[in-house]
């Protein structure tokens, strides 16, 4: 018993007894989160980022340009305590971690028109066929890690599927049988053992293709009009969000019902340069 405190019952939460100075609980805070002496602005956290970056570029004489960028990275952080009684913050994968990113971009000025490889004899044909260009970008990127609560994992394969085949029918995208789902069996001692993030359990990766078609009309020596036809997410691939809930006792445990990206968009624009 702790006189003149909120811990005067027959039992005291074990988590509270393990934290520094348990006799000084934070007023009004529950026992599972009550740290007696709070130190603010402590330089206890850290994070580090390592990456391998590769860039290749090839330019052809007929107006074709190809650029490839690849990065392989690791973001690790220690910024939050898993338990109040831990001697140091939890070492975990960063919440903004994206280990793999591949970007392939291409630009092609079509070889038709005045001064190009296929210079047509007719001035009108040159005006129609010339000045066209095409751009495209392919982006492949790992998804962010999933954020987990304090749950009981029984072991075994999770069969995690961040991109369900039939999103119109809600259903678990992981093997929920590998967790304790009964409310009476959830952790209750205030101590947490399950990690916050796992490197191999991530949201649906990004797979996106953008394309554009350009037409240039020369008005004067330094003035031209550009007509742009642009398509974003041209394949209309759905990038799913994280599960609605990663709480085993929830009826929607492991279900994915949200979209993280936008559907296909097509737009037309006009640009005047002088």
pTM above 0.95, yes or no: no
Q: What is the rounded average pLDDT of the residues 35-61?
A: 84
Burial 193-229 (b: 16+ CB within 10 A, else e): eebbbeeebbbbbbbbbbbbebebeeeeeeeeeeebe
**Centroid of chain to Cα 83:** 26
Q: Confirm if 55 and 39 have CB atoms less than 8 A apart.
A: no
Residues 6+ apart with CB under 8 A from 17: none
Confidence of residue 108 (pLDDT cuts 50, 70, 90): very high
Residue 226 has pLDDT above 70, yes or no: yes
Q: What is the rounded average pLDDT of the residues 236-240?
A: 93
Q: Which residue has the higher pLDDT, 40 or 159?
A: 159
Write down the H helix ranges in the chain.
Answer: 14-18, 123-129
Confidence of residue 129 (pLDDT cuts 50, 70, 90): confident
pLDDT in tens, 193-206: 899 999 999 999 99
pLDDT in tens, 138-153: 999 999 999 999 999 9
Average model confidence (pLDDT) across the chain? 85
Residue 179 has pLDDT above 90, yes or no: yes
pLDDT in tens, 56-105: 999 988 889 999 999 999 999 999 888 877 888 999 999 999 999 999 99
Q: Quick one: tokens of 181? A: 């789902």
Q: What percent of the chain has pLDDT over 70?
A: 86
Q: Among 87-91, 132-136, 137-141, 164-168, which is the least confidently predicted range?
A: 164-168
- Highest-confidence range of 75-84, 108-117, 204-213, by mean pLDDT? 204-213
Q: Which residue has the higher pLDDT, 233 or 173?
A: 233
Q: So where are the chain's domains?
A: 1-42, 43-273
Give residue 32's pLDDT: 47
Give residue 152's pLDDT: 92
């Amino acid at each position: 018993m702790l006189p003149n405190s909120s811990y005067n019952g027959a039992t005291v939460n074990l988590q509270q007894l393990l934290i520094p100075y348990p006799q000084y609980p934070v007023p009004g805070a529950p026992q599972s989160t009550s740290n007696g002496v709070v130190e603010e602005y402590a330089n206890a956290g850290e994070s580090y980022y390592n990456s391998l970056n590769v860039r290749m570029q090839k330019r052809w004489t007929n107006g074709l340009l190809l650029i490839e960028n690849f990065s392989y990275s690791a973001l690790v952080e220690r910024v939050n305590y898993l338990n109040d009684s831990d001697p140091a913050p939890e070492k975990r994968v960063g919440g903004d971690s994206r280990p793999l990113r591949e970007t392939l971009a291409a630009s092609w000025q079509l070889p038709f028109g005045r001064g190009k490889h296929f210079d047509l004899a007719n001035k009108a044909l040159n005006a129609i066929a010339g000045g066209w260009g095409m751009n495209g970008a392919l982006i492949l990127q790992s998804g962010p890690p999933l954020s987990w609560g304090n749950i009981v994992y029984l072991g075994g394969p999770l069969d995690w599927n961040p991109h369900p085949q039939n999103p119109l029918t809600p259903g678990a995208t992981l093997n929920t049988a590998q967790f304790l789902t009964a409310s009476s069996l959830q952790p209750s001692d205030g101590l947490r053992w399950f990690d916050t993030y796992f490197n191999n359990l991530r949201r649906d990766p990004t797979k996106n293709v953008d394309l554009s078609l350009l037409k240039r009309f020369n008005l004067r020596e330094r003035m031209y009009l550009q007509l742009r036809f642009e398509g974003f997410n041209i394949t209309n691939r759905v990038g799913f969000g994280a599960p609605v809930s990663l709480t085993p006792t929830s009826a929607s445990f492991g279900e994915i019902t949200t979209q993280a990206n936008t559907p296909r968009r097509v737009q037309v624009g006009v640009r005047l340069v002088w």
